[in-house]
Amino acid sequence: MNKKTIKDIDLKGKKILVRCDFNVPMDEEKNITDNTRIVAALPTIKYLLENNCAVILCSHLGRPKGEFKAEFSLKPVAKELSNLLNTEVIMANDVIGEDAKTKAKNLQQGQVMLLENVRFHREETDNAPEFSKKLADMAEVYVNDAFGAAHRAHSSTAGVAAYLPAVSGFLIEKELQFLGNAVSNPERPFVAILGGAKVSDKIGVIDSLLEKVDTLIIGGGMAYTFFKSQGYGVGDSICELDKLDLAKEAMKKAEEKGVKLMLPIDTRIGKEFKPDTESKTVAWTEIPDGWEGFDIGEKTIEMFCNELKNAKTVVWNGPLGLFEFDQFAKGTNAIAKTLSEIDATTIIGGGDSAAAVKKAGLQDKMTHISTGGGASLEFLEGKKLPGIECLQDK
């Protein structure tokens, strides 16, 4: 997608409104437990400061549902940003109120301020034009760098672009480059790995990827819906009985398109949903009643990893098992390790797959880890993302 970035527009000395994704996890004391998303925004912020801009940052955090709630304040983010940038980040006490307007008006070149959580206003998620206009009134240029929220048509992700010249930051540019190339111009063989719990979350992606990939590997909870669709018992495993026809259609489409669709051949099952439950490995056709599938088995791990060794482009979205419990993380960890070792473009599609790769300590070995779970899924599906569509074309 050929969208203008901050390098394609004259920004020098201007006031810039930047939409970031600072929706970061915090503990009960409001300490940030993972600052990855904040760090990801730094290249764009630093570039704007180098060009003598006055930088106004905005983001959401959590789901305050249109009310001011102190536990969703962005103050801890301002503190973390101040440390990372080695300069004070001025915190506004509101979003479009007097404090924000005054601080924005007085903001000098080379200074950074952060507005309070945009979702403290219901108008944000409603994409209300008057709210978008008030946000836009603070600045001269709009920069979207929040890929994780680009699939939402909200005021701060899309609405403001009606009132200001709108371009992307470096993070969105990188996402479009890697995900865009994977979808439209992959080096082959192109392998996609889809995991996670539900077929319903991924059916659009499965459909879209079957038009593009050479091999589609399916694991995680949604594999059991595929097993069931072939008439096999799945015990107490997660299974969407209303999606059996979709699973059958996907297998039929793969056959028609000449795509190799790979399902697990054995599965690690457990008695209960707890870390230390009794477990064993069985063939995929022999899952007993009273047991639940929690991971792919050793033969499947070997089969999937062998397939990946020849790949030149790999897109992975969704873990292959209950990776939060160590005894059911083997499949997910083995895939992550294999991807870290092969000579290929490896793209991790955000969300749980990104968390699993980080947990395995292999994030630096991947070509690209997407910052948007839902957004990267919709992008792979071929949907138009409002936060991208609103940006100026090159």
Task: Write the DSSP string, 363-385.
Answer: GGGSSEE-S-HHHHHHHHTTPPP
Domains and CATH numbers, the chain: 6-171 (3.40.50.1260), 178-380 (3.40.50.1260)
For the question of whether the overall pTM of this predicted structure is more than 0.85, the answer is: yes
Task: Tell me, yes or no, if 374 is annotated catalytic.
Answer: yes
Q: Band of the pLDDT at 1, cuts 50, 70, 90?
A: low
Tokens of 212: 């593009």
User: What b-and-e string marks burial along 152-169, b requiring 16 or more CB atoms within 10 Å of the CB?
Assistant: bbbbbbbbbbebbbbbbb
> Taking 90 as the threshold, does the pLDDT of residue 351 lie above it?
no
Interval 356-378 mean pLDDT: 88
Tokens of 81: 């940003």
Q: Could you report the per-residue pLDDT of 33-87, keeping only the tens digit for each?
A: 989 899 999 999 999 999 999 999 999 999 999 999 999 999 999 999 999 999 9
Task: Tell me, yes or no, if 351 is annotated catalytic.
Answer: yes
> Taking 80 as the threshold, does the pLDDT of residue 105 lie above it?
yes
Identify the active-site residue in 69, 79, 133, 198: 198
What backbone torsions phi and psi does residue 60 show, to the nearest 5 degrees? -105, 165
Identify the active-site residue in 66, 374, 382, 383: 374
Interval 356-376 mean pLDDT: 88
Higher pLDDT, 202 or 271: 271
Identify the active-site residue in 196, 293, 331, 351: 351
Identify the active-site residue in 37, 212, 330, 359: 37
In whole angstroms, what is the distance from residue 138 CA to residue 58 CA? 12
Cβ neighbourhood burial of 115 (10 Å; 0-12, 13-18, 19+):
buried
Q: Band of the pLDDT at 360, cuts 50, 70, 90?
A: confident
In whole angstroms, what is the distance from residue 20 CA to residue 56 CA? 10
Beta-bridge partners for 19: 58, 144
Residue 267 gets the label, from left (phi > 0), alpha (psi -120 to 50) or beta, of beta
DSSP per position, 97-146: SHHHHHHHHHPPTT-EEE---GGGSHHHHHT-HHHHHHHHTT-SEEEE--
Number of separate helices (H) and strands (E) present in the chain:
14, 15
Task: Tell me, yes or no, if 219 is annotated catalytic.
Answer: no
Task: Tell me, yes or no, if 198 is annotated catalytic.
Answer: yes
DSSP per position, 233-275: --TTS---GGGHHHHHHHHHHHHHHT-EEE--SEEEEESSSST
- Which residues, including other chains, have CB under 8 Å from residue 187's CB and lie 6 or more apart? 312, 313, 344, 345
Share of the chain above pLDDT 90, in %: 87
Q: Could you report the per-residue pLDDT of 180-236, keeping only the tens digit for each?
A: 888 888 999 999 999 988 888 888 899 999 999 999 999 999 999 999 999 999 999
> Taking 90 as the threshold, does the pLDDT of residue 270 lie above it?
yes
